[in-house]
Amino acid sequence: MALFSLVLIPFVISTDIASACQNTDDFVGASSPGDIVIGGLFAVHSEMLHPEEHPIKPVIQNCAGFEIQIFLQTLAMIHAIEMINNSTLLSGVTLGYEIYDTCAEVTKAMASALRFLSKSNTSKDIVEFKCNYSDYVPRIKAVTGASYSEVSMAVSRLLALQLIPQVSPASSAEILSDKIRFPSFLRTIPSDFHQTRAMSHLIWESGWNWIGVIATDDDNGRFALESFGVQAMANSVCIAFKEMLPAYLSDNTFHTKVDRAIEKIVKETRVNVIVVFMRQFHVLKLFKKAIERNVKKIWIASDNWSTAVKISTMPNIRKLGTVVGFGFKNKDISTFQDFLRNLHEKPTENNKFLREYIMLLSVCAHLDNYDFQMCISGQSQYDLMQNVENKHQIWRDDFLNANIEPGFIHSTILAVYAIAHAIKGQCKDRNCKDPSAFTPWELLEELKKVTIIDDDKEIKFDSKGDMSTGYDVLLWKEVDGRMEITTMAEYDPENGYFIFEDEEKKKEFLDLKKVPSTCSQHCRPGQMKKVTESPHTCCYECVYCPENHYSNRTGKEL
């Protein structure tokens, strides 16, 4: 049975999305003019396709792996800009946008960043070299993005040259808080520091101290692992094993490494809790194998996949045990949901992502549920072009809504609003219809001071350019045979504690404790620990204290 209602609509499908880049304007994913233009960088595709193993000619190639939830973030940016233009916030000054796909690749993102730096109002895209950019007017005034921290870091170095403000809704790596290295970078989410600390608190409070960690072997994964290691140690939690999986699926050791990770998990039976810092696609691959091997554990999800519908709808996902995750705070996004409902009425000529999505709907139309999900993310732009003729043109009404990851939609809208409020500040006594009215570096100064109202709460960037919006602690629960992602608690990063809405939620949390994940039993009064598996202080034997010594404390506090 189809999960989503189908609506037939008269779309005209053009096939030009597949020609990656003939001239520079082809390179833009979605755009709309305005007095002040904001750039966007999003990993709408998860990889770039190379005809050979390594690029030989310097040409930007097609991409593959359409990411619905990131496509939704580009729509959230557009929605926010349309709302601002249709409000009195900027009193007549209009915002435009230019959104580019990074395909999760640094090189592709750098090409877009280079374009952002090029001079405004010239027919050619020329980046002028200068020793002093104080008076320079680039094409855009600010950037929203990128998605992956690895990409944000690289782009930020380039944008810092002109001090163009960059506000990311998703890059959480701790290192990006360093304002000496990343002076023009800000974000509307907290740094991973708070997330890894929250995870360690959860683990400690549940009485677990012998756990496994699996991460993607890229900057995101490595930084998260390092940060988690420090936090775990501070909370006396020991890491029994760490496994890293290659960042690129094209790496031919990928499958062996997944197998090796699964073997580790199976062999280390005392470990029942596994922390997973991975990209969604990797989690899918890992879980597929884990389900085949009947692995049943408690999985702790990082923000990257804690709300991924693609994963929670996997067949047999409930056999894996329990998933507890951390996600960025979820707020009311009903106006965005309305926007999505009317999306099929929107013109598509200035939005390649939307055109591609419509083509994907047609190509995958014959499939249902999970297969449909996989089909959408499994097509390359090249295949699409070959495939699209003679297909029905359909619209699945609720598919986009079902795939929303609310935390990221909220952080994207916040990013645009923060920029708009800063622009308002700059335009107080200037004619902002003139694109050279103010420079990006002036906007950056304004942005650092901006206060916005979010759900009746005043929020602003802290001195590191982060927003401490907090986290939701999520629990994946089976309801009527389907996996639902529910909010179990809130985590207050400032005070480091969990807040429960009611007793029932509190009980869900306490229930987690019933599964142990420790290396050794707690020692009893009169006993002391003798460490057996150095360097792990969590593994010990309990031996009776020597004569004339005693301990009246239990193991947890020793």
Ligand X SMILES: *[C@@H]1O[C@H](CO)[C@@H](O)[C@H](O)[C@H]1NC(C)=O
Interface residues toward ligand X, by CB under 6 A = 32, 34, 81-82, 85-86, 94, 96-97, 121, 132, 134-135, 147-149, 170-173, 192, 220-221, 224, 277, 302, 304, 435, 552-553
Query: Which residue number, 6 or 175, has a Cβ lying nearer to ligand X?
Result: 175
Write the CB contacts of 329 (distance below 8 Å, at least 6 apart in sequence).
407, 410, 469, 470, 471, 472, 490
Query: Which residue number, 85 or 184, has a Cβ lying nearer to ligand X?
Result: 85
Q: Minimum distance from CB of 510 to ligand X (Å)? A: 22
Q: Minimum distance from CB of 426 to ligand X (Å)? A: 17
Burial class (CB in 10 A: 0-12, 13-18, 19+), 103: buried
Q: Minimum distance from CB of 382 to ligand X (Å)? A: 25
Q: Minimum distance from CB of 151 to ligand X (Å)? A: 8
Cα separations (Å) of 370 from 2, 192, 303, 312? 10, 31, 22, 10
Query: Which residue number, 441 or 500, has a Cβ lying nearer to ligand X?
Result: 441
Q: Minimum distance from CB of 451 to ligand X (Å)? A: 24
Q: Minimum distance from CB of 306 to ligand X (Å)? A: 10
Cα–Cα dist 176/10, whole Å: 45
Backbone angles phi, psi at 488, to 5 degrees: -95, -40
DSSP state of 498: E
Burial class (CB in 10 A: 0-12, 13-18, 19+), 119: middle
Burial class (CB in 10 A: 0-12, 13-18, 19+), 327: buried
Write the CB contacts of 270 (distance below 8 Å, at least 6 apart in sequence).
210, 240, 517, 518, 519
Burial class (CB in 10 A: 0-12, 13-18, 19+), 113: buried
Query: Which residue number, 123 or 269, has a Cβ lying nearer to ligand X?
Result: 123
Query: Which residue number, 173 or 290, has a Cβ lying nearer to ligand X?
Result: 173
Query: What ranges in 164-218 are assigned the alpha helix state H?
Result: 192-205
Query: Which residue number, 34 or 65, has a Cβ lying nearer to ligand X?
Result: 34
The C-alpha angle with vertex 176 and arms to 171 and 180, in degrees rounded to 5, equals 155
Query: Which residue number, 482 or 553, has a Cβ lying nearer to ligand X?
Result: 553
Cα–Cα dist 44/39, whole Å: 15
Cα–Cα dist 282/138, whole Å: 38
Q: Minimum distance from CB of 524 to ligand X (Å)? A: 11
| Residue number with the smallest Cβ distance to ligand X | 85
Q: Minimum distance from CB of 294 to ligand X (Å)? A: 27
Query: Which residue number, 34 or 388, has a Cβ lying nearer to ligand X?
Result: 34
